[in-house]
Chains A and B, each alone.
Chain A
Amino acid sequence: MKPDYLYMKASALGTAILILSSGVAPAAAPPEVSSCAACHGASGLGNVAAGFPALAGLPSDYIQQQLFSFKHGARQNAIMTGIATPLTADQRKAIGDYYAAQPVPAKPEPSPFPTGPGATLATNGDWDHSLSGVPSCDSCHGPAGIGVGTAFPRLAGLPKAYIAAQLAAWQKGTRENDPQHLMQTIARKLSTAQIDAVATYYASLPANPTQLPGETEPEGAK
């Protein structure tokens, strides 16, 4: 009964938020979105303080896949399972399409750009001179973690607690909906300190940077 209770509570709250913010949302949200908006916002920008990830601009297919996983157990989360379980494929698509279309405000990268162990893991990986080492996060999630295609979601700007929780979930097997188990394999090679560092790093980056590091060619490169 707990999931149902949470679902109803979130749904009611979401409707309230949707009404309050309806002047801000660019397109009319389908009714299914009300249950998401309570935590992720009607515009899908999430809630950093509470650890709720932004959904705006994520690929619709990715969002749908996560909702499917919550419903069928490949991604375990008491609240999200409760919310996702009653959703049909059409409803998942309506939610995915809606949030995929929400704009993400462009912001400049932090200056100075963060350095340290999190940045190193994200941009260089932790190979330790071994072919079975850890490749950089950016090599699949894109430069500065802005996300690539439908299977490699954005990491930039996600709440630190959320990133760390996902890596821990892959380690424990409570999240196992990653294609080819690529993330599970990588997460299990990471230490707690590495998870903390890399989560801090990506949380400090904007989801939609105005310019990427290395995007401009310096004078005299050729």
Chain B
Amino acid sequence: MRAVHGAVLAAGVMLSISSSFAASQTPGTMRTATEPQAQAFTPPPRDAMPAGKLGAEIKLGEQIFRHTTIYAHGTIGNAQNCSNCHLDAGRLAGSSPMWAAYGAYPAYRSKNGKVNNFGMRLQGCFRYSENGKVPALDSKLIVALEAYSYWLSTGAPTGVPLIGRGYPKLPPPSKPPSYTAGEAIYKANCSLCHGADGNGQYVRGQTVFPPLWGPNSFNWGAGMASVKNAAEFIHANMPLGNPSVLSVQHAWDVATYIDSQERPQDPRFAGSVAQTRKQFHDNEFSFYGKIVNGHLLGSPP
């Protein structure tokens, strides 16, 4: 009974997502006539890294990006590698490539209410997606990741949107996303790799399949904890190697299921779950502060 009740509640929340979807889609995606046309871009080949001290820093950045759990051990607070969400080590268009992000900063971010340079944007990844400490702007981690991203964007224009930035926009679901449907889709398509418990799979301490929820996952403040971002990522990229099997509706359903699970606390926690939701999660794509399966998401289990 409890599970059914939770599923109904979840469906109720998602109803509001569906109805207000059109309005929420427009900011940031609409282009005015004066904005430059998006351009295509291809990063330099892997083996074209320069020699010398800068080349060594770029190479280190790539290693950090691919093996974050090893190279940023002690800084990050979970088992997530950068390359788990930015596929092909940040090179792949449609998988939040670093070459498309690099030239898009400095930019104003409503998330922290100020203009961020690229290093500050990377700091955000450490704080939320990596559930970790925030490395200093002149730390080895940030500088090396910046060097790698700079090199990936060799020849790219600045201030011009690049085709392939972020994840491809996803049409709204044709019916309200369903936790129950998402659970079935997860079991059929995702749990083989990510596990029925969402904890991922590891070998010799290295992350092979990243955790999607639970203590080793990204925290509530991460972009991927938003159903919209997760649905976009999933539809474009998952299951790895065969991403065409999930429909738009499937992606919304399974993202709803994944983002209705418990995960590490939002580091901006404002004293109570309700207050934190009000300040940082008051939108239709976050389940933080919602009750699912009888549990208040964001509270200790």
CB contact under 8 A between A142 and B74, given known A125-B88, A129-B42, A135-B240? no
CB pair B206–A135 under 8 Å, yes or no, is no
Instruction: Select which of B72, B89, B144, B239 is within 8 A of A182 by beta carbon.
Output: B239
B296 lies within 8 A of chain A by Cβ: no
CB pair B204–A215 under 8 Å, yes or no, is yes
CB contact under 8 A between A217 and B71, given known A127-B91, A180-B239? yes
Ranked nearest first, the 8 interchain pairs of A and B with the lowest CB-CB distance are: A185-B242, A142-B203, A127-B88, A221-B71, A148-B208, A131-B94, A135-B241, A186-B241
Using a CB–CB cutoff of 8 Å, the interface residues on chain B facing chain A are 42, 46, 60, 63-64, 66-67, 70-75, 87-89, 91-95, 135, 139-141, 144, 164, 189, 192-193, 201, 203-204, 206, 208-209, 236-237, 239-245
Shortest CB distance B243–A (Å)? 6
Q: Which residues of A sit under 8 angstroms from B189, Cβ to Cβ?
A: 180
Closest chain A residue to B240, Cβ basis: A135
Shortest CB distance A164–B (Å)? 19
CB pair B89–A222 under 8 Å, yes or no, is no
Given contacts A129-B91, A151-B192, 20 further A-B contacts (CB under 8 A): A125-B88, A127-B88, A127-B92, A131-B236, A139-B208, A146-B204, A148-B209, A179-B192, A180-B192, A180-B242, A182-B240, A182-B242, A186-B241, A214-B66, A215-B70, A217-B73, A218-B71, A221-B141, A222-B74, A222-B141
CB contact under 8 A between A140 and B237, given known A217-B71, A221-B64? no
CB pair B88–A220 under 8 Å, yes or no, is no
How many residues on chain A are close to B (CB under 8 Å)? 35
A192 lies within 8 A of chain B by Cβ: no
CB pair B73–A131 under 8 Å, yes or no, is no
CB pair B139–A134 under 8 Å, yes or no, is no
CB contact under 8 A between A132 and B243, given known A127-B87, A148-B208, A222-B141? yes
Contact indicator per residue, chain A 125-159, by CB within 8 Å of chain B (1) or not (0): 10101111111000110110011110110000000
